[in-house]
Structure 1
Amino acid sequence: MVKIEGKSVFGGIAIGPVEILKKKDNQVLRRHVEDTEEEVRRYEAAGDAAKKQLQNLYEKALTEVGEASAAIFRVHELMLSDMDFVDSITNMIRTQNVNAEYAAAITGDNFSTLFESMDDDYMRARAADVKDVSERLIRILSGEGQNGIRGNEPVILAAEDLAPSETVQLDKSKILAFMTRYGSANSHTAILARTMNIPAVIGVDFPEDCDGKTAVVDGFSGCIYLDPDPEFLKMMTERQAEEIKKRELLQTLKGKENITQSGRKVNVYANVGSVSDVVTALKNDAGGIGLFRSEFLYLEKDHYPTEEEQFQVYKRVAETMAGKKVIIRTLDIGADKQIGYFDMEHEENPALGYRAIRICLDRIDIFKAQLRALYRASAYGNISIMYPMIISLEEVQRIKEISAEVRGELKDAGISFGNVEEGIMIETPAAAIISDLLAEEVDFFSIGTNDLSQYTLAIDRQNPKLDAFFDPHHPAVLRLLKMVADNAHKAGIWVGICGELGADLTLTQAFLDMGMDELSVSPAMVLPLRQIIREIR
């Protein structure tokens, strides 16, 4: 038995044969062409065909993984029309008398290298998208079909990397799990894998002769086991059965209340980042959406999403939740979430820099466009708004002035909107310490324990070297949580937790003792959390 360690992208246990995804030989030969204009026309026809393919992929992804994740295929369409990209290919054909396949390949390599050299993580991740676009053009020009799984039996799919378009096109019924040699946990492929519920591990240095061998994928630990011995295989098969049984038992909790044996009731909501995640939250019987990460609308576009684009997404979320509470966090970028088109300057310490509400209060046009979209959508459901990274009373008062302006503008224009609760995230020690003052200004608190722990402990949570020092159970963090809960209740407002700590089942009892009114977790954790709550005396 051979054990290979990788990095988990999505949990689960899978057992079955490995199939290495056999891609076509990507070597493109350079050919001399006499009629360059005919070659340009051939390229343009291939571009039109590629756009049609991407439109079909977008529609397919929309139904399978939701609008936010499907948006990558819109980005690919835009890349095909990018004038720098187009001019590079057509100029190469005309000036060097080369075939369109070769021009597309060289352009793809050049643009991909350019993106890979950028400092911004998001822009570096676009290098794979450029390659995907150029390879699509080459396949069409050369008359090649799509890559896919060879047989009809479900397999553990192994690949060097998987482009978003490849992931969506694969027949999910034939995939037990996938493992890739490259890729990142923040790539579109990783996001799609999580949404499609496919156990996945990246950074796996699998041997080339593993094709056809039996393997065990442990998506929880990120480990792959090739040629497992009978005893280990029996153990993992039993563990897999236990996981399935646990999920089935949890289903019996659907429709039941989140109430302790002593009668204490707690709202259990879900954290989501897309419309498809909202559907998953409903399937897991979440009582509402405690955190809708609106920044994903910005991260997955190459332009500022318009008010109308945002309105359509927020409206769809509100309607899908059918009256259940939907708490939407305003734009929260900066720190580890960078967006190229925002053109933000490099910062030595972005976690303490230009981010979240600071950007919104500085770039009022972006902020007001989002608020208008949110208020308009509130007419179609139970939408609440919360503002991230607050540190002062003055910030909250300024936010209230701007939101009042937006409501006034909508009212003057005859546009209806609902009665919207407005709250703030408690993510900084400053906000926690003055939470008694802040509570007088808002309708609710939602505690973001990820950043609150980071700032309280002075530990960068993105730095793996500090994992041994990072203690989210630190008494200082827990004391701040209790302080915030007490101050919220003194002012007559409710308080919840939407950070990762909310899903820490070892702390559920402590959170209830503190008086937390709501816990918001990933959709998959809703029922496990309900189970713990119902067992508490």
Structure 2
Amino acid sequence: MGRIAQGTGVSAGIAFGTALVLPPPSDIDANQRIKPADVANQQSAFNSACQSLISQLTPLLEQFEESSPQGQLIEAELMLLEDEEFTDAVHQAISTLRLPAHLAVDRIVQQHADELEALEDEYLAARAKDILSLGQRLVRQLRGEQLPDLNALERDTILIARDMTPAEFAALPMKSIKGLVLIEGGLTSHTAILARAAGIPALLSCRIEPGEVSSGDSVILNANEQTLHISPSANTISELKKSLAQFQARQDALAELIDRECVTRDGTPVPLLANVGCKADIDQLLALNGAGVGLLRTELMLLNAEQLPDEEEQYKAYLDCLLQLDGKPFTVRTMDIGADKVVAALKLPKEPNPALGLRGIRYSYTHPDLFRSQLRALLRVANHGPVRLMFPMINQVEELDWVLTELESCRQLLLQNEQGYGEIALGIVVETPAAALNLESMLPELDFISIGTNDLTQYTMAADRMQPEITRAFPTLSPPLLRLIKHCIDAAHQYGLPVSMCGELAGNPQATALLLGLGLDEFSLSPSGLLEVKAKVLETDMEAAGLIAEKALKCRRLDELKACIAPVNSTSD
């Protein structure tokens, strides 16, 4: 009889195949020591192992754009392997503690990972796992442990491993690897980011007991239901084949919508823009005929950078994106540093509660030079086409006053330097109840607003959005959030300003009709969800959507709200 393991789905799809289980590294004898005469040989073996991994990673890096998630994460691994502080620490552990090279690597990598995890930061915790996984790869190399040659696979394979570095994932032969299951890892891990980008079904944090699945077992990965079926029965295989056929038919049907104009049934145009972090995301947006960029996360260019990009580097990066869009809207958020966004090139202070600390515009206020270089770069880019600029975590009109003063100073400096600049449409990201309640004082200075529902939910409900068990109890689609969203939309419309939404709620097709009924003008979402939301727009009648919104705003309970929007979502699911 088949068995089922549960995990966390990070990308949609169903995959059938044969399991290939990558064994974890064998146990290490922590008491092993070397003779003084062997120190040099062990240090040389470590150097050779690092160079071997570097030689494997460098060709992979050339396959991807530097700004792509794959390129950034492979570059991060290369940086660690070439980092003098890391190599010196391993050399010292070999010479002073008389550790064999593999033990020295294991110890130093574990210390480094422990230091990151001790900072109690979600992003750094994910980086700690990446570093541990890379360390295991080095240990294998030093101990001569060989993994299966994945390039020799000849049948559809579901790869199962304890964990995997981003570079290991980037090297997978996707012609044979149809799905990925990791026993460790989470939604914020870099391998999860790459799995979503690759579009293969994947489960992370999968609860598989030792010996529960072996290489050669027949398995089915149902990422849509967050399950791994091990040695499934004939009935399970038949049912999941039907589910796969339905899923593929849905994807084919959605693909037919790419060239259709995005309008409601009664002819109301609805721009669907994308949240992007690199040029590869913009390529995907354009392939899906999206309306433009509703959020460029500019801080992503900093995450793995050894040093901060100067004005000229930023100018070239933003200009490439603008030209790539060929006149479509280009909305840029200034660097949203802090909280879950940790930047290697910056020495961010350790804070007891980062989500309530120095983040967003607050960081820019205390580090104005970085902010000014970004403003100057964007003003220069606006000389070549339309740019919309929005500022994160603005809560008070005094903060907006400071931003506008800095922007004018940057204009004057560009004039003095005889550099051209263009006009920029200005907006803020509404992420807190304070921003929503202070909106009327700021709207006269703005051209648009964008509602960031992820943080708006977090700060309204006092619910950490990085903890799945908390977010399940405090979902974004809730009565208090709807009232705040409606308040923001009505206030902006009184000033004739358009309202966009760039949070995850914008990509939830179950909420599309409701948001249209509330008066939302634009949606900005992950490119991967664009066609599902477009399908909902095409079948929505604005009058009916208005009635749904009116009824939803009167709901007081989560179950009432769910029941309220259920009828409009039952027609095409």
TM-score (norm 2): 0.85
Separation (CA, whole Å) in 1 of partners of 2:160 and 2:538:
41
Task: Write out aligned runs for 1:414-429 (5 A).
Answer: 414-429=418-433
Contact 1:69 1:274 in 2 (8 A): no
Which of 511, 515, 520 is equivalent to 1:511? 515
Separation (CA, whole Å) in 2 of partners of 1:416 and 1:156:
54
Change (3 A) 1:43 1:377: farther
Report the alpha carbon displacement of residue 185 of structure 1 after superposing the two structures with TM: 1.6
Contact 2:122 2:466 in 1 (8 A): no
Q: Give the structure 1 partner of residue 544 of structure 2.
A: none
Larger RCO, structures 1/2 (Cα 8 Å, 6+ apart): 1
Q: Give the structure 1 partner of residue 161 of structure 2.
A: 159
Task: Write out aligned runs for 1:203-214 (5 A).
Answer: 203-206=205-208, 207-208=210-211, 209-214=213-218
Separation (CA, whole Å) in 1 of partners of 2:465 and 2:48:
48
The question of 1:69 aligning with 2:73 is answered: no
Report the alpha carbon displacement of residue 258 of structure 1 after superposing the two structures with TM: 1.3
Report the alpha carbon displacement of residue 24 of structure 1 after superposing the two structures with TM: 6.7
Deviation string for 1:242-279 (max 9, x for gaps)?
11111111111112211122221111111122322222
Q: Give the structure 2 partner of residue 17 of structure 1.
A: 18
Separation (CA, whole Å) in 2 of partners of 1:517 and 1:494:
6
| RMSD of aligned Cα (Å) | 2.9
Contact 1:427 1:448 in 2 (8 A): yes
Report the alpha carbon displacement of residue 2 of structure 1 after superposing the two structures with TM: 0.9
Report the alpha carbon displacement of residue 288 of structure 1 after superposing the two structures with TM: 0.5
SS in 2 for 1:86: helix
Deviation string for 1:415-435 (max 9, x for gaps)?
333332221111222222232
Task: Report which stretch shifted further, 186-195 or 96-105.
Answer: 96-105
Task: Write out aligned runs for 1:84-123 (5 A).
Answer: 84-95=85-96, 100=101, 103-123=104-124
Change (3 A) 1:413 1:145: farther
Separation (CA, whole Å) in 2 of partners of 1:220 and 1:359:
39
Separation (CA, whole Å) in 2 of partners of 1:507 and 1:25:
49
Deviation string for 1:330-383 (max 9, x for gaps)?
122333334465444444443333221111112112211222333344445543
Task: Write out aligned runs for 1:67-466 (5 A).
Answer: 67-95=68-96, 100=101, 103-134=104-135, 148-149=149-150, 151-206=153-208, 207-208=210-211, 209-339=213-343, 342-466=346-470
Task: Report which stretch shifted further, 490-499 or 164-173.
Answer: 490-499
**Could you tell me which amino acid in structure 2 is paired with residue 520 of structure 1?**
S
Change (3 A) 1:113 1:431: closer
Deviation string for 1:189-240 (max 9, x for gaps)?
1111111112111111324343212222121232111122222221111111
Contact 1:260 1:534 in 2 (8 A): yes
SS in 2 for 1:331: coil
Which of 22, 33, 37 is equivalent to 1:34? 37
Change (3 A) 1:138 1:325: same
Separation (CA, whole Å) in 1 of partners of 2:149 and 2:116:
27
Change (3 A) 1:119 1:502: closer
TM-score (norm 1): 0.90
SS in 2 for 1:536: coil
Contact 1:384 1:422 in 2 (8 A): yes
Q: Give the structure 2 partner of residue 486 of structure 1.
A: 490
Report the alpha carbon displacement of residue 321 of structure 1 after superposing the two structures with TM: 1.8
Contact 2:12 2:201 in 1 (8 A): yes
Task: Report which stretch shifted further, 212-221 or 176-185.
Answer: 212-221
Separation (CA, whole Å) in 2 of partners of 1:526 and 1:68:
20
**Could you tell me which amino acid in structure 2 is paired with residue 437 of structure 1?**
S
Report the alpha carbon displacement of residue 152 of structure 1 after superposing the two structures with TM: 1.2
Change (3 A) 1:38 1:410: farther
Change (3 A) 1:336 1:495: same
Separation (CA, whole Å) in 1 of partners of 2:93 and 2:191:
31
Contact 1:30 1:102 in 2 (8 A): no
Separation (CA, whole Å) in 2 of partners of 1:129 and 1:405:
42
**Could you tell me which amino acid in structure 1 is paired with residue 12 of structure 2?**
G
Separation (CA, whole Å) in 2 of partners of 1:426 and 1:113:
35
Separation (CA, whole Å) in 1 of partners of 2:477 and 2:48:
60
Change (3 A) 1:210 1:47: closer
Change (3 A) 1:41 1:252: same
Change (3 A) 1:474 1:102: closer
Contact 1:68 1:297 in 2 (8 A): no
Contact 2:130 2:190 in 1 (8 A): no
Separation (CA, whole Å) in 1 of partners of 2:282 and 2:345:
27
Task: Report which stretch shifted further, 140-149 or 212-221.
Answer: 140-149
Report the alpha carbon displacement of residue 44 of structure 1 after superposing the two structures with TM: 4.3
Contact 1:179 1:201 in 2 (8 A): yes
The question of 1:58 aligning with 2:61 is answered: yes
Q: Give the structure 1 partner of residue 563 of structure 2.
A: none
The question of 1:496 aligning with 2:500 is answered: yes
Residue segments in structure 1 that go unaligned for 5+ positions in a row: none
Report the alpha carbon displacement of residue 174 of structure 1 after superposing the two structures with TM: 0.9
Contact 2:49 2:141 in 1 (8 A): yes
**Could you tell me which amino acid in structure 2 is paired with residue 510 of structure 1?**
L
Report the alpha carbon displacement of residue 97 of structure 1 after superposing the two structures with TM: 6.6
Contact 2:134 2:165 in 1 (8 A): no
Contact 1:139 1:145 in 2 (8 A): yes
**Could you tell me which amino acid in structure 1 is paired with residue 13 of structure 2?**
G
Report the alpha carbon displacement of residue 62 of structure 1 after superposing the two structures with TM: 2.9
SS in 2 for 1:210: coil
Q: How many aligned positions are there?
A: 535
